[in-house]
Amino acid sequence: MATELTLHERRRDPNALELAGIPWLALLLPAERERALDGLRVTDARPGDYVCRIGRPVTYWFGVVAGLLKMSTDSAQGVTMTFTGVPPGGWFGEGTALKREDYRYNIQALRKSVVAGLPVDTFHWLLDHSIGFNRFVMNQLNERLGQFIAAREIDRMNNPDVRVARSLAALFNPVLYPGVGEVLRITQQELGYLVGLSRQRVNEALAALEAQGTIRVEYGGLRVLDLAALRSSIFHEK
């Protein structure tokens, strides 16, 4: 019986469409871009595949070309805590790559996804040689800080409608996730995994948001109509 290939063993060269979905490539000068392309690889992740695991050393800086990942960790009691989702266009782990340390979180595919990886040595080479790449990474770190501050606030909210609204707003962040645009391809079950609510309760929250005109539920996803309203406290805490 043949052994199934690991996620790393399934890596391949990216095609032109996949390269077009990597936002920072356009910021590089020709020599920098050539160096990046020499190292860039993509892999096809299946639902449940781990891209990163707690305690494993960093080898790549990763990004989502297509699909949806989740970032989580496990408590000492064995309870899984989800920090955020990572939709298309999102790159993550720059802090870990900068320090060349072990991962402190798990990254897992929620559905079939195309994940890109830049070797950590190439990541550091670009930091040393590319102004455009440095600016991109600095913007990532700044937005990530705001994202995790917001995530702590969301964790303390008792109103499920607010939790869903704020969590959705985070997934529509145009700096961290430029590949999302106005429509996020996500199911109610997947959103439930990310916000820690049942599918039924997520459905009720989405119905309330749709009634207020902030989103529209479409086949296979959600369209944001008023991002500012999603980001604000649009419901009274119960």
Please name the helix (run of DSSP H) or strand (run of DSSP E) that holds residue 84, with its range, or none. Answer: strand 80-86
Q: Model confidence over 122-156: pLDDT tens digits?
A: 999 999 999 999 999 999 998 888 777 666 666 66
What CATH code would you report for 16-150? 2.60.120.10
What CATH code would you report for 158-231? 1.10.10.10
Q: Model confidence over 4-63: pLDDT tens digits?
A: 788 888 999 999 999 999 999 999 999 999 999 999 999 999 999 999 999 999 999 999
Q: What is the mean pLDDT of residues 176-183?
A: 87
Q: So what's the pLDDT on residue 8?
A: 86
Domain locations in the chain as residue ranges: 16-150, 158-231
In whole angstroms, what is the distance from residue 202 CA to residue 199 CA?
A: 5
